[in-house]
Chain A
Amino acid sequence: MSSAKSKGKTGLGIEKCPTGIRGLDEIMLGGLPKGRPTLVAGSAGSGKTVLAMEFLARGAAEFHENGVYMAFEETGQELIENTASFGFNLPELCARKKILLDHVHVDRSEIEESGAYSLEGLFVRLENAIKTVNAKRVVLDTIETLFSGFSNESILRAELARLFRWLKTAGVTAVITGESGDGLLTRHGLEEYVADCVIVLDHRVAEQTSIRRLRVMKYRGSLHGTNEYAFLIGKKGISVLPITSLHLDHEASKARISTGIPRLDTMLDGKGFYRGSSVLLSGGAGTGKSSISANFVRAACERGERALYFASEQSPSEIIRNMNSIGIDLARWAAKGLLRFHAARPTLVGLEQHLVLLHEVITEFAPAVVVIDPITNFGAAGNAMEVKSMLTRIIDFLKERQITGFFTSLTAANSNPEESEVCISSQIDTWLLLRNLESNGERNRALYVLKSRGMAHSNQIREFVLTSRGVELLDVYIGSGGVLTGTARAAQEAQEQASVLAEKQELERKRAELSRRRVELKERIEALHWDFRSEEEKILTCMRQIEERERQVARHRLDMAHLRRADAANANGHRTRNVRA
Chain B
Amino acid sequence: MKPGKHAGGKAGSKEKHWKLRLYVAGHTSKSLAAIANLQIFCDEYLSGDYQIEVVDLLKHPQLAAGDQILAIPTLVRKLPTPVKKIIGDLSKTERVLVGLDLRQEEQTV
Sample (5) of A-B pairs whose CB atoms are under 8 Å apart: A114-B87, A116-B89, A117-B30, A120-B57, A124-B72
CB-CB < 8 A to A149: which residues of B? Answer: 70
* Interchain nearest-CB distance for B74 vs A (Å): 6
* Interchain nearest-CB distance for A138 vs B (Å): 15
Of the four ranges (under 10, 10 to 19, 20 to 34, 35 or more), the interface on chain B belongs to 35 or more
CB-CB < 8 A to A482: which residues of B? Answer: none
Q: Cβ of B19 < 8 Å from any Cβ of A?
A: no
CB-CB < 8 A to B74: which residues of A? Answer: 117, 121
Q: Which of B22-57 contact A (CB under 8 A)?
A: 23, 25, 28, 30, 33-34, 37, 57
Q: Cβ of A105 < 8 Å from any Cβ of B?
A: yes
B90 contact from A115, A127, A150, Cβ within 8 A: A115
Contact across chains for A114 and B71 when beta carbons are under 8 A apart: no
A121 contact from B71, B89, B98, Cβ within 8 A: B71
Closest 3 CB pairs of A and B: A112-B99, A115-B88, A115-B91
Contact across chains for A122 and B70 when beta carbons are under 8 A apart: yes
CB-CB < 8 A to A105: which residues of B? Answer: 68
Considering the complex, give the chain A residue whose CB is closest to the CB of B67. Answer: A121
CB-CB < 8 A to A110: which residues of B? Answer: 83-85
CB-CB < 8 A to A118: which residues of B? Answer: 30, 71-72
A residues neighboring B (CB under 8 Å): 102, 104-106, 110-122, 124-125, 127-128, 146, 149-150
Contact across chains for B70 and A119 when beta carbons are under 8 A apart: yes
Q: Which of B37, B58, B73, B93 has the most CB of A within 10 A?
A: B73
Q: Which of B58, B87, B91, B93 has the most CB of A within 10 A?
A: B87
Q: Please, how many angstroms separate the alpha-carbon atoms of A455 and B84 in the complex?
A: 81
CB-CB < 8 A to A122: which residues of B? Answer: 70-71
Contact across chains for B71 and A124 when beta carbons are under 8 A apart: no
* Interchain nearest-CB distance for A302 vs B (Å): 64
Q: Cβ of B95 < 8 Å from any Cβ of A?
A: yes
Q: Please, how many angstroms separate the alpha-carbon atoms of A114 and B62 in the complex?
A: 25
CB-CB < 8 A to A112: which residues of B? Answer: 84-87, 95-96, 98-99
Contact across chains for A124 and B25 when beta carbons are under 8 A apart: yes
Q: Cβ of B64 < 8 Å from any Cβ of A?
A: yes
Contact across chains for A121 and B57 when beta carbons are under 8 A apart: yes
Contact across chains for B89 and A115 when beta carbons are under 8 A apart: yes
CB-CB < 8 A to A121: which residues of B? Answer: 23, 25, 57, 64, 69-72, 74
CB-CB < 8 A to B61: which residues of A? Answer: 124-125, 127-128
Known: A115-B91, A121-B69. 14 other contacts (CB 8 A): A111-B86, A112-B95, A114-B96, A115-B37, A117-B72, A120-B28, A121-B25, A121-B72, A122-B71, A124-B57, A124-B72, A125-B57, A149-B70, A150-B71
CB-CB < 8 A to A146: which residues of B? Answer: 70
Considering the complex, give the chain B residue whose CB is closest to the CB of A149. Answer: B70
* Interchain nearest-CB distance for B25 vs A (Å): 4
Q: Please, how many angstroms separate the alpha-carbon atoms of A154 and B61 in the complex?
A: 26
Known contacts A110-B85, A127-B61; A120 and B91 CB within 8 A of each other: no
CB-CB < 8 A to B65: which residues of A? Answer: 102, 125, 128
Contact across chains for A114 and B89 when beta carbons are under 8 A apart: yes
Q: Please, how many angstroms separate the alpha-carbon atoms of A150 and B72 in the complex?
A: 12
Q: Please, how many angstroms separate the alpha-carbon atoms of A373 and B37 in the complex?
A: 77
CB-CB < 8 A to A117: which residues of B? Answer: 30, 71-74, 87-89
Considering the complex, give the chain A residue whose CB is closest to the CB of B101. Answer: A112
CB-CB < 8 A to B98: which residues of A? Answer: 112
Q: Please, how many angstroms separate the alpha-carbon atoms of A103 and B71 in the complex?
A: 15
Q: Cβ of B92 < 8 Å from any Cβ of A?
A: yes
Q: Which of A104, A111, A127 has the most CB of B within 10 A?
A: A111
Q: Please, how many angstroms separate the alpha-carbon atoms of A128 and B64 in the complex?
A: 9
CB-CB < 8 A to B62: which residues of A? Answer: 128
Known contacts A120-B57, A150-B71; A111 and B64 CB within 8 A of each other: no
CB-CB < 8 A to B87: which residues of A? Answer: 111-114, 117, 150
Q: Please, how many angstroms separate the alpha-carbon atoms of A120 and B24 in the complex?
A: 9
* Interchain nearest-CB distance for B97 vs A (Å): 9
* Interchain nearest-CB distance for A120 vs B (Å): 4
* Interchain nearest-CB distance for A70 vs B (Å): 10
CB-CB < 8 A to B72: which residues of A? Answer: 117-121, 124
CB-CB < 8 A to B33: which residues of A? Answer: 115
CB-CB < 8 A to A124: which residues of B? Answer: 25, 57-58, 61, 64, 69, 72
* Interchain nearest-CB distance for A77 vs B (Å): 15
* Interchain nearest-CB distance for A308 vs B (Å): 50
Known contacts A124-B64, A127-B61; A114 and B90 CB within 8 A of each other: yes
